[in-house]
Amino acid sequence: MKAIRISQKSSTKELVPESVDRPVIKPGYVVIKVKAFGVNESEVTSRKGESSADFSFPRILGIEGVGVVAEVGENSSFEVGQKVATMMGGLGRSIDGAYAEYTQAKEENVIPISTDLDWGTIGALPEMLQTAYGSLSRGLDLQKNETLLIRGGSSTVGLMAASLAKYLGAKVISTTRHSESLTTLEKYGATYPLLDDKDFEKNMHQIMPDGVDKVLELVGTTSLLQDINFLKEGGKLCFVGALSGKWTLDEFSPFMIPTGTFLTSYAGEANDLPAKVFNDILKEVEQDKLAVPIAKVYHGLAEVGQAQENLESGKYSGKHVVVL
């Protein structure tokens, strides 16, 4: 089969398809014929040799993928030909990933899906949806009619979270540093798209003088203390990402957290996206009740390098997806 495999720190030009052995089925695993996969920042990090401790070379990249079951082991709950999605569980880090014609994933990390959506749309969802849904449900316990501030709203997760939050009946305030992205924020569910500039705090107080119920923090610790002070008493901030690149807070004291507010984080687990939730959301997308932010769809493994370049450029809003 063809796959994108790297043996050392590499440039995007070195993301070239090569012939490798097809995965041999192992107990408790499913072999999947890959139809599409999303391209993620963590894969860029892995390519640069800066990944998490569980990553090792040589490695086929790709932490998520969608496709059809090609092979199952004994007593499997899956069937050959069944549509599935997979993400995380070491995929693309400690085991070979989805930048390939076939991949192998643990059954516990494989979700059966039933949908007539095109593979490009399905391929955009697993990791992005898992992070957005998990942070809103487990991280924030977002409820209907609550107000949600998404700091870093033009990011892929930010756009998906806004779309989900609107679907759940919340009122969304979403931020971007780029004025040209304001219409995109509104398209994907923001009631109040706000420019993250010198007037941001003043504009926030004008829109929400009593504060907000929940905050989804995607920018990082550079804005965390400002954002936690936008909370109403009883409100909650969930730290999910660090688009600023800053993950820690210098000289932090618990007394910096306003009385009666809560600070938590969400690191993400594949099991936080149950099969029923995934399939329910696919149905909502089919019926145009939920928008999926897609930046661009690419065709074939040969375009993976370009997809990673475009992702790194930061010039696109939404998910980059490769269809095979």
**For the residues 10-28, what does the mean pLDDT come to?**
96
| pLDDT range class, residue 145, cuts 50, 70, 90 | very high
| pLDDT range class, residue 9, cuts 50, 70, 90 | very high
The arrangement of strands across the sheet holding 192-195 comes to: 192-195, 171-176, 147-151, 212-217, 231-239, 262-265
pLDDT in the model for residue 245: 78
Is 90 exceeded by the pLDDT of residue 128? yes
| pLDDT range class, residue 251, cuts 50, 70, 90 | confident
In one-letter notation, the amino acid at residue 305 is G
| 27-68 pLDDT tens trace | 999 999 999 999 999 999 999 988 878 899 999 999 999 999
Residue percentage of the chain with pLDDT more than 70: 100
Is 80 exceeded by the pLDDT of residue 270? no
- Cα separation of 98 and 234, whole Å? 42
The mean pLDDT of the chain is 95
- Cα separation of 63 and 270, whole Å? 11
Contacts 24+ apart (CB under 8 A), 274-283: 275/111, 275/112, 275/113, 277/133, 278/85, 278/111, 278/113, 278/125, 278/126, 278/129, 279/113, 279/114, 279/115, 281/125, 281/129, 281/133, 281/164, 282/113, 282/114, 282/115, 282/117, 282/122, 282/125, 283/115
pLDDT in the model for residue 247: 84
**For the residues 9-28, what does the mean pLDDT come to?**
96
Is 80 exceeded by the pLDDT of residue 269? no
Please, where in the chain does CATH 3.90.180.10 lie? 2-126+270-323
Please, where in the chain does CATH 3.40.50.720 lie? 140-265
For domain 2-126+270-323, give the CATH number.
3.90.180.10
**For the residues 212-234, what does the mean pLDDT come to?**
95
* Helix (H), strand (E), coil (C) string for the chain: CEECEECCCCCHHHCCCEECCCCCCCCCEEEEEEEEEEECHHHHHHHCCCCCCCCCCCEECCCEEEEEEEEECCCCCCCCCCEEEEECCCECCCECCCCECEEEEEHHHEEECCCCCCHHHHHHCHHHHHHHHHHHHHHCCCCCCCEEEEECCCCHHHHHHHHHHHHCCCEEEEEECCHHHHHHHHHCCCCEEEECCCCHHHHHHHHCCCCEEEEEECCCHHHHHHHHCCEEEEEEEEECCCCCCCCCCCCCCHHHCCCCCEEEECCCCHHHCCHHHHHHHHHHHHCCCCCCCEEEEEECHHHHHHHHHHHHHCCCCCEEEEEC
| pLDDT range class, residue 243, cuts 50, 70, 90 | confident
22, 28, 29, 107, 113 from 76: Cα distances, Å:
20, 7, 8, 8, 16
pLDDT in the model for residue 53: 83
140-265 placed in CATH 3.40.50.720: yes
Token code pair at residue 235: 């409100």
| 289-310 pLDDT tens trace | 999 999 999 999 999 999 999 9
| 149-171 pLDDT tens trace | 999 999 999 999 999 999 999 99
- Cα separation of 89 and 71, whole Å? 19
Residue percentage of the chain with pLDDT more than 90: 87
